[in-house]
């Protein structure tokens, strides 16, 4: 008789790639929008916040998965928050040691990673129910998807708001920066434009698949016609 506890599905590429596009935390699931809108005025800030969130997400999910059978259900959320806060404190000190300038730019949003619904949600909905390997792979994909989304926003905002990318001048001196892009409203504008483009691509892809499916169903085999 099969062991009823052994119900975990094997690792697959989908565990990693889902967070990059199909279940992207920002563009699809709309999670963690506070840092997305607040710190993505430059690519440097976006990378810093994305990598910090990736580190906390992977480490906390790995530890929650490893301890999932030992954590009592009544205190599981409290335990998850303590685990997440521990890694946030660690990454906070690491960023201070690496770049004090970046730390000052990110400000309180580093500490706010503790309450990022993406991290706590993945700990509760995924890491607490899956094995160590799947949890780490899935968290890595989600973290990279979150970082990718931040960089996509930061690149557009920095390019249009300052005419630069990573501090290097892209446009000529005649370019008039769109100051609104490096202000909070610019985050809403750029996020809305990216969502519009991504939804358009998805609708085109879905429409194409439906057309192909309809064409295949409507086609009649030659042997049936001749008979």
How much is the pLDDT for 141? 94
Question: Helix (H, G, I), strand (E, B), or coil: what is residue 202?
Answer: helix
> Diameter of the chain by CA atoms?
80
Rounded to the nearest 5°, which phi and psi values hold at 110?
-65, -50
pLDDT digits (tens, 9 = 90+) for 138-196: 999 999 999 999 999 999 999 999 888 887 888 888 888 888 998 888 999 999 999 99
pTM: 0.85
pLDDT grade for 8, boundaries at 50, 70 and 90:
low
| Mean pLDDT computed over 6-32 | 82
How much is the pLDDT for 132? 93
The half-sphere exposure of 51 on its side-chain side, counting CA atoms within 13 A, is 13
H or E element in which residue 45 lies:
helix 43-66
Integer Cα distance of 195 and 179 in angstroms: 22
pLDDT: which is higher, 49 or 115 = 49
Q: Which residues of 87-100 are buried (b: 16+ CB within 10 A; e: fewer)?
A: bbeebbeebeeeee
Question: What is each CA distance from 95 to 51, 66, 130, in whole angstroms?
Answer: 10, 26, 30
DSSP-derived letter for residue 219 is: -
Instruction: Compute the 3-state secondary structure of the chain and give helix, strand, coil in percent, each to the nearest 5.
Output: 70, 0, 25
Length of the chain measured in residues: 227
pLDDT digits (tens, 9 = 90+) for 89-106: 999 999 999 999 999 989
pLDDT grade for 209, boundaries at 50, 70 and 90:
confident
Long-range contact set of residues 84-89: C-beta below 8 Å, sequence gap at least 24: 84/56, 84/60, 84/113, 84/114, 84/119, 84/120, 84/123, 85/114, 87/55, 87/56, 87/59, 87/60, 88/56, 88/113, 88/114
How much is the pLDDT for 219? 60
E strands, 158-202, where? 164-165, 168-169
The percentage of the chain sitting over the pLDDT mark of 90, rounded to a whole number, equals 54
DSSP-derived letter for residue 4 is: T
How much is the pLDDT for 221? 54
Integer Cα distance of 1 and 7 in angstroms: 13
pLDDT grade for 1, boundaries at 50, 70 and 90:
very low
| Mean pLDDT computed over 190-214 | 85
pLDDT: which is higher, 3 or 201 = 201
Domain residue spans in the chain? 14-207
How much is the pLDDT for 137? 94
Integer Cα distance of 53 and 25 in angstroms: 12
pLDDT digits (tens, 9 = 90+) for 106-145: 988 898 899 888 999 999 999 999 999 999 999 999 999 9
């Amino acid at each position: 008789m099969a062991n009823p506890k052994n119900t975990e599905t094997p690792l697959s590429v989908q565990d990693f790639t889902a967070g990059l596009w199909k279940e992207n935390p920002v563009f699809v699931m709309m999670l963690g929008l506070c840092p997305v809108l607040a710190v993505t005025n430059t690519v440097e800030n976006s990378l810093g916040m994305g990598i910090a969130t990736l580190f906390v997400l992977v480490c906390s999910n790995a530890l929650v998965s490893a301890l999932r059978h030992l954590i009592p259900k009544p205190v599981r959320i409290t335990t998850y928050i303590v685990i997440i806060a521990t890694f946030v404190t660690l990454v906070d000190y690491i960023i201070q040691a690496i770049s004090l300038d970046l730390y000052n730019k990110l400000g309180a949003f580093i500490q706010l990673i503790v309450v990022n619904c993406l991290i706590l949600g993945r700990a509760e909905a995924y890491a607490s129910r899956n094995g160590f390997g799947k949890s780490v792979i899935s968290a890595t994909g989600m973290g990279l998807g979150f970082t990718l989304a931040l960089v996509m926003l930061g690149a557009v905002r920095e390019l249009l708001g300052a005419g630069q990318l990573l501090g290097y001048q892209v446009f000529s001196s005649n370019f008039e920066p769109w100051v609104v892009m490096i202000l909070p409203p610019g985050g809403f504008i750029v996020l809305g434009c990216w969502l519009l483009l991504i939804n358009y691509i998805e609708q085109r892809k879905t429409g194409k698949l439906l057309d192909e499916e309809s064409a295949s169903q409507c086609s009649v085999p030659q042997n049936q016609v001749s008979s």
